[in-house]
Structure 1
Amino acid sequence: MIDVLIFFVGAWAGAQNALAGGGSFLILPTLMLSGLDARAANVTSCVALFPAQIATGWTGRALAAGANGLSLKVLFAISVVGGGVGAVVLLITPSAFFSRLLPWLVLFATLIFAWGSFFRKKTETPRRLSARGAAAVQFLISVYGGYFGGGIGFMMMAALTLAGQNARVAGATKNVLAGVINAAAVAIFLFAPDLHMRQAVTTSLGAVIGGVVGAKMLHHIDEKILRVFVVIIGGALTVGLFYRAA
């Protein structure tokens, strides 16, 4: 019965990611409900969502580009190293400590998602990041992405536009780099005892199907409503995790 629930939540999350993002907010508590601790749920969720992320990045790869003197290959390398570092740090983090940290991570990711969805001014022309600054920011985002990952899409969109990319190119580039960050993390998580393969495969199958359906529905659903829904789910999950950790 729990596998059926995981599959359908995975499908819902896949569609949510294709339409507006924030699908991990649905998968994480469902995996924890199935009996996984917080760290195992995070590891399993990362592996489960990886195929869909690779498909998304591959689809838009032609638009991906470097930024402000940094080639795409350099950003690629930074993302691989950062994602691997974040994954290793996660695996050496005691599970009990990660359980106490998780509510803060979800709160941070929810706030980043809300800012990127409703408050960030897309037409403003702020001060640009230097090449060195862009490299440092991408590395920090990559480490965070390998460790937890919630909100990295909006973080990279902000960083890449600050580094001079337009929104369309930044969107394609962040999809490619998100896949790269998770590839580094997944390569490490595949050998971790925290990975629960049955739940990962079940979630992944649902997410891929949901992602295809979501992509087809992209022009028929109000994205703002979905983003409000993600913020509500993220807020509820934050409250629930703080209550559980108390």
Structure 2
Amino acid sequence: MTEWIVVVLAGFLGGMLNAVAGGGSFITLPALVLVGVPPVAANTTGTAALLPGYIASAWRFRREIEYPKGLGFRSVSVVALLGGSIGAVTLLLTSDQVFSALIPWLILLSTTAFIVGPKLMGFKRPVSGRLAKHRGRSQVQAINIAALMVICIYGGYFNGGMGIILLAAFGLMGQNNLLGMNGLKNIVSALLTVIAVIIYTIGGTVKLEYLLILGVGSVVGGYVGAGLAYRVSQLYLRRLIIVIGCLMAAGFFLNG
């Protein structure tokens, strides 16, 4: 009974964090490992369960969605699906032993993104006047696509902290509307997770006995989190997620 309570709470909290700023995998991955799921399967199952939360959050933010320069729904969709596929296949080729060793480092990477992300979101590339006009669309589009592709590959492999990494990237791409960035973040997350989950399922790593209950929790948490994003201080939320990330990384290092 206790393990199901742990899984339900993990799904709810993971969906809520993902909706607001990312970091849901900081909760779902350790929770599933705690109840005895192998590391790779814990990652794939947790990612699969958080998918409905991404969709619910994207729907909640649908009126605020904005795209970076040179990108639209079609190009973002192609990049997200391709990157998610590459990351998912790479994960399936990784053994539980190797992935266990990588987990604390991946969490630390994600936590670092939470720390530096807000600063990167406020950074603007100095492109001006005639240079922006002649170099603008093609080169900026190529850079944005390449950056998004790398992030989507990472998301298909691990998913942890992907939300804040996406937000930071959108900031570097010139966006400054946090609600619009959150909406786009959830669309990208949903698309790459859809294809990743299909590949995970074909690979037989998704634990169906935990998927449904974790998924229901993530839907509720995702919708609640999207509502909280309009009212709760982003600064305090990020600080909380950073603390959670550090604690989880330390726990995996100590148990490794």
With normalisation by structure 2, the TM-score equals 0.86
In structure 1, what is the equivalent of residue 160 of structure 2?
150
- Asked if structure 1 preserves the Cα contact closer than 8 Å seen for 2:83 and 2:153, the reply is yes
Residues 21 and 227 of structure 1 are in contact (CA less than 8 Å); yes or no, is this contact kept in structure 2? Answer: no
What is the match of residue 178 of structure 1?
Answer: 189
* Residues in 1 aligned to 2:163 and 2:72: alpha-carbon distance in whole angstroms: 19
Which deviates more from structure 2 when the two are superposed, residues 151-160 or residues 105-114?
A: 151-160
Secondary structure in structure 2 of the residue aligned to 1:21: coil
Root mean square deviation, CA, Å: 2.1
Identify unmatched segments of 5+ residues in structure 2: 128-138
- For the 8 Å contact 2:22–2:160, the answer to whether it is kept is no
Structure 1: gaps of 5 or more residues: none
Give the Cα–Cα distance (whole angstroms) in 2 for the partners of residues 114 and 86 of structure 1.
24
- The 3 A distance-change label for structure 1 pair 212 and 34 is same
CA distance, structure 2, for counterparts of residue 100 and residue 132 of structure 1: 34
Structure 1 residue 65: deviation in Å? 4.2
Contact 1:65 1:72 in 2 (8 A): no
Alignment CA distance shift 1:100-1:227 (3 Å) = same
For the pair 1:239 / 2:240, whether they are aligned, the reply is: no
| Pairing 1:165–2:175 present | yes
Q: 1:86 to 1:219 in 2, by over 3 A?
A: closer
Does 1:115 find its partner at 2:116? yes
Aligned residue for 2:174, secondary structure, equals coil
- Stretch deviating more after TM superposition (215-224 or 152-161): 215-224
1:61-118 C-alpha deviation (Å, 9 max, x unpaired): 344344322332112101100101100110011121111111110110111012225x
Query: Which one of the candidate residues 211, 226, 231 is aligned to 2:237?
Result: 226
- Residues 69 and 173 in structure 2, CA contact (< 8 A), matched pair in contact too: yes
Partner of 2:131: none
The aligned residue for residue 56 of structure 2 is: 55
Q: 1:100 to 1:83 in 2, by over 3 A?
A: same
Q: How many residues align?
A: 243
Give 2:216's match in structure 1, choosing from 205, 209, 230. Answer: 205
Q: CA deviation at 1:219?
A: 5.3
CA deviation digits over 1:217-241, x for unaligned, max 9? 4555444333222111111111111
Q: Pick from 132, 150, 164: which aligns with 2:142? A: 132
In 1, the alpha carbon distance for the partners of 2:231 and 2:237 equals 12
Shift of 1:121: 5.6
Cα distance per residue 1:40-68 (max 9 Å; x no partner) = 11000000000110121233334434432
Does the CA-based 8 Å contact 2:60-2:223 persist in structure 1? no
